[in-house]
Amino acid sequence: MIIEPRMRGFICLTAHPDGCAKSVKNQIDYVKSKGHVNGPKRVLVIGASTGFGLASRITSAFGSDAATIGVFFEKEPSIGKTATPGWYNSAAFENEAQKVGLYAKSINGDAFSKEIKQKTIDLIKADLGQIDLIIYSLASPVRLHPETGVLHRSVLKPIGKTFTNKTVDFHTGNVTQVSIEPATQDDIDNTVVVMGGEDWSMWIEAMKNDGVLANGATTIAYSYIGPEVTEAVYRKGTIGKAKDHLEDTAFQITSSLEELNGKAYVSVNKALVTQASSAIPVIPLYISLLYKIMKAEGIHEGCIEQIQRLFSQRLYTGSAVPTDEQGRIRIDDWEMRKDVQEKVKSLWEQATTENLIEIGDLAGYKQDFLNLFGFGFDNVDYAADTNEMVMISSI
């Protein structure tokens, strides 16, 4: 079929398999261009199909020759209906890994469930024995709790008082005021259950109990801090409470891994266009201004550049892992640079529908958004009939 983007709100309903393959190939080429990193050999990535998780899988495999198992929750294709992008990304990743003889298998299902954890552990036992690095990179709006059977929904709301600020509809470029009512205590609790650290610790606990964690195993989850303009809705909002919980969980996991000499880290990453971040009010406007400035300064990075730097300049340097005073790895350092943030702040005050095209990188935002779904790549023939029924070899 001929596949075109079909936008609805913050998502695109279609995905292009050739474009997703191109996106994966570009990321592999980038990692290879940076040279070998003496990194992990057996890696489990939870949330491996898009965004930071996919970049982590690619960096492990093509930067350090790691065997990888990827867990994700994606929709497979059916005749006349495309899969979700993470499905096509994972199919392409496995193909590329196979070409160079790298082990790669994937599990598609709900990572919050006991079944998927057990399935993953059984696969590790059968194929790899143990795991050296576990990347936890889930972004989900819901979690079915495995113990209680309750379906929790996360929300993106401020806490305490109504938040009013600018936002942009990145499809139209319209800058408007948005007001978000404060969260209830239930909203806060639910968001922490979905995006906090409980499931991360359940994974590590289950893996430890079944003996599939290698001595010295490391686990990493991703967090975000960001600037003042997004603070009320992000870091001091419901999602921020979940990130606080995630960051606290790292210390608990580290203590639970003492006898294995294991360690849990949180890495604070840069704001980037992903399916998860596009849905957060205010963030797209911030990102479009940030991109403009970081590109002008020559310090712009995407997910793959961020994770390659995390591996090569933080985790696997041969020296101690540098962290901030709260024990977090910081690869948001360039985003948070004082000069960068001062410029964003001043652009933020000026931003209107009329000038955003000039002062912000709306085009870059839109390009990245299209790219998430496999659209907008050079050297992909979007007019050609293409096979939507691309399968993942290990599934």
Which amino acids are annotated catalytic? 234
- Which of these segments, 76-84, 91-99, 133-141, 244-252, binds Na ion (CB under 5 A)? 133-141
Kindly state the number of chain residues that form the binding site for ligand NAI, as judged by CB under 6 A: 29
- Burial letters for 151-184: b for 16+ Cβ neighbours within 10 Å, e otherwise? ebebbbbbbeeebebbbbebeebebeeeebebbe
Cβ contact 49:69 at 8 Å: no
Q: Which residues, numbered 259-318, are part of the site for ligand NAI (CB under 6 A)?
A: 269, 271-272, 274-277
CB 45 within 8 A of CB 71: yes
Footprint of ligand NAI on 49-78 (CB under 6 A): 49-53, 71-74
Angle at the Cα of 37 (from 35 to 41), degrees rounded to 5?
A: 130
**Contacted by 68, from ligand NAI, Na ion, none: CB < 5 to 8 Å by type:** none
Distance CA 5, CA 380 (A): 14
Lookup: tokens for 25? 């190939």
State which residue, 52 or 348, has the beta carbon closest to ligand NAI: 52
Identify which of residues 120 and 137 has a Cβ nearer to Na ion in the complex.
137
78 to 117: interface string for ligand NAI, x by CB under 6 A: --------x-----------------------xxx-----
Please report whether residue 48 would count as binding ligand NAI according to CB under 6 A.
Answer: yes
Q: Which residue is nearest to Na ion (CB)?
A: 53
Q: Contacting Na ion (CB under 5 A), which of 82, 84, 137, 165?
A: 137
Closest approach, Cβ 169 to ligand NAI, in A, equals 18
Q: Quote the CA–CA distance of 1 and 391 in Å, as a whole number.
A: 16
Phi and psi, residue 14, nearest 5°: -120, 165
Minimal distance in Å, beta carbon 348 to Na ion? 27
One-letter amino acid at 341 equals Q
Q: How far apart are CA 250 and CA 196, in angstroms?
A: 11
Q: 3-class DSSP state for residue 310? A: helix
Touching Na ion, residues 45-74 (CB under 5 A): 47, 51-53
Among 140, 252, 256, 341, which residue sits at the site for ligand NAI (rule: CB under 6 A)?
A: 140
Q: Are strands 7-8 and 11-12 parallel, antiparallel or unpaired?
A: antiparallel
Q: Does 222 participate in binding ligand NAI (rule CB under 6 A)?
A: yes
Q: Which residue has the tokens 């300049």?
A: 313
Contact status: 135 vs ligand NAI (CB under 6 A): no
Residue nearest to ligand NAI (CB): 51
Q: Min. distance of Cβ 91 from ligand NAI in angstroms?
A: 13
Shortest Cβ distance from residue 48 to Na ion (Å)? Answer: 7
Rounded Cα–Cα distance for residues 173 and 175 (Å) = 6
Binding partner of 234, given ligand NAI, Na ion, none, CB within 5-8 angstroms per partner class: none
CA nearest to 61, candidates 262, 265, 311: 311
Q: Which range of residues in 28-36, 44-52, 291-299, 387-395 is near Na ion by CB under 5 A?
A: 44-52
* Count of residues in the chain: 395
257 is in an annotated binding site: no
Query: Which residue pairs, CB below 8 angstroms and at least 24 apart, start in 384-387?
Result: 384/2, 385/1, 385/2, 386/1, 386/2, 386/3, 386/16, 386/17, 386/18, 387/17
Q: Where are the alpha helices (DSSP H) in the chain?
A: 17-33, 51-64, 85-99, 114-123, 185-195, 198-209, 228-231, 238-256, 275-278, 283-296, 303-310, 338-350, 356-359, 362-372
Q: Cα–Cα distance between 46 and 380 in angstroms, integer?
A: 29
Which range of residues in 30-38, 138-146, 250-258, 315-323 is near ligand NAI by CB under 6 A? 138-146
| Between 228 and 358, CB nearer to ligand NAI | 228
Residue 243, annotated ligand binder? yes
Binding-site entries for NAD(+): 47-52, 73-74, 110-111, 138-139, 243, 272-274
Binding positions = 47-52, 73-74, 110-111, 138-139, 224, 243, 272-274
Rule CB under 6 A: which residues touch ligand NAI?
A: 47-53, 71-74, 86, 110-112, 137-140, 222-224, 269, 271-272, 274-277
Query: Contact residues for Na ion (CB under 5 A)?
Result: 47, 51-53, 137
